[in-house]
Amino acid sequence: MNARFWRSLSRLSLGWVCAMSLCCAHAAKGSLPAEVEAALQKGRVPKEAMVALVQEVGSSQAVLSWQAQAPVNPASLMKLFTTYAALDLLGPAWNWATPVWVQGTIQAGGGETPQGVLNGNLVIKGQGDPKLVMERLWLLMRRVHQMGVREIRGDIVLDRGSFSLPSQNPADFDSEPLRPYNVSPDALLLNYKSVVLTFTPDPARNLAAVSMDPPMANLQADVSVPLSNGPCGDWRAGLRADFSNPQVVRLGGSYPVSCGERGWPVAYGDPGSYNQRALQGMWQSLGGQLSGKVRDGTAPSTPPTFELVSPSLSEVIRDINKFSNNVMAQQLFLTLGLRQRGLGTPENAREVLRQWAVDRLGDTQRELVVDNGSGLSRDSRVTAQLLARLLQSAWASPVMPELMSSLPVGGVDGTLKRLRANQGRTHLKTGSLRDVVGVAGYVLHPDGRRYVLVAIINHPDANAARPALEALVQWAGGPALAHKTGGAN
DSSP string, 272-309: GGHHHHHHHHHHHHTT-EESS-EEE----SSPPSEEEE
CA-to-CA distance for 93 and 172, rounded, in angstroms?
35
Pick the CATH number of 3-93+312-485 from 3.40.710.10, 3.40.50.300, 3.40.718.10, 3.40.30.10: 3.40.710.10
d(CA 357, CA 363): 8
pLDDT of res. 19: 40
Q: Is 445 exposed, middle or buried (0-12, 13-18, 19+ CB in 10 A)?
A: buried
pLDDT at 461: 97
Using DSSP's 3-state secondary structure scheme, residue 435 falls into: coil
Show the DSSP H helices in 396-454 as ranges. 400-405
| 346-361 vs 79-90: helix crossing angle, rounded to 10 | 80
pLDDT at 356 over 90: yes
Residue 214 is classified by DSSP as S
Q: What is the pLDDT of residues 4-38, one digit of tens each?
A: 434 443 444 434 433 433 333 333 455 899 999 99
Per residue in 255-310, pLDDT (tens digit) is 999 999 999 999 999 999 999 999 999 999 999 999 999 999 999 999 999 999 99
Per-residue pLDDT tens over the stretch 80-116: 999 999 999 999 999 999 999 999 999 876 666 688 9
For residues 323-327, give the mean pLDDT.
97
| 175-184, 270-279, 423-432, range with the lowest pLDDT | 175-184
What pLDDT does residue 2 have?
44
Q: What single-letter amino acid sits at 115?
A: Q
Q: Which sign does the torsion angle of CA 278, 279, 282, 287 carry?
A: negative
- Please give the pLDDT value at position 403: 98
If one compares 171 and 143, the residue with the highest pLDDT of the two is 143
pLDDT at 26: 37
Q: How far apart are CA 240 and CA 105, in angstroms?
A: 49
Helix 326-341 / helix 313-322 crossing angle, nearest 10 deg: 140
Continuous H helices in 28-102? 34-42, 79-90
Convert 361-394 to b/e letters by CB count within 10 Å (16 or more is b): beebeebbbbbbbbbbbbebbbbbbbbbbbbbbb
Ordered DSSP codes for 129-197: -TT--HHHHHHHHHHHHHTT--EESS-EEEE-TTB------TTTTTS-TTSGGGPPP-TT--GGGEEEE
**Which residues are CB-contacts of 21 (< 8 A; sequence separation ≥ 6)?**
none
In 3D space, the residue among 304, 303, 283, 305 whose CA is nearest the CA of residue 293 turns out to be: 283
Q: Which of 150, 344, 188, 209 has the alpha carbon at shortest distance from 278?
A: 188
Q: Where in the chain is the domain with CATH 3.40.710.10?
A: 3-93+312-485
pLDDT band of residue 177 (cuts 50, 70, 90) is confident
pLDDT single digits (tens) 446-474: 999 999 999 999 999 999 999 999 999 99
When pLDDT is averaged across residues 199-223 and rounded to a whole number, the result is: 95
* pLDDT the model gives residue 174: 78
Q: Which DSSP symbol is given to 46?
A: -
Task: Give residue 179's pLDDT.
Answer: 86
pLDDT of residue 173: 79
Q: Which CATH fold topology does 96-310 show?
A: D-tyrosyl-trna(Tyr) Deacylase; Chain: A; (3.50.80)
Query: Does 204 have pLDDT greater than 50?
Result: yes
Nearest Cα residue to 384 out of 320, 452, 335: 452
Say whether pLDDT at 62 is over 90: yes
How confident is the model at residue 30, as a pLDDT? 54
Angle at 124 between CA 118 and CA 128, to 5 degrees: 170
Q: Which residue intervals of the chain bear CATH 3.50.80.20?
A: 96-310
The chain-wide mean pLDDT, for the chain, equals 91
* Residue 182 pLDDT: 87
Residue 180's pLDDT band, with cuts at 50, 70 and 90, is confident
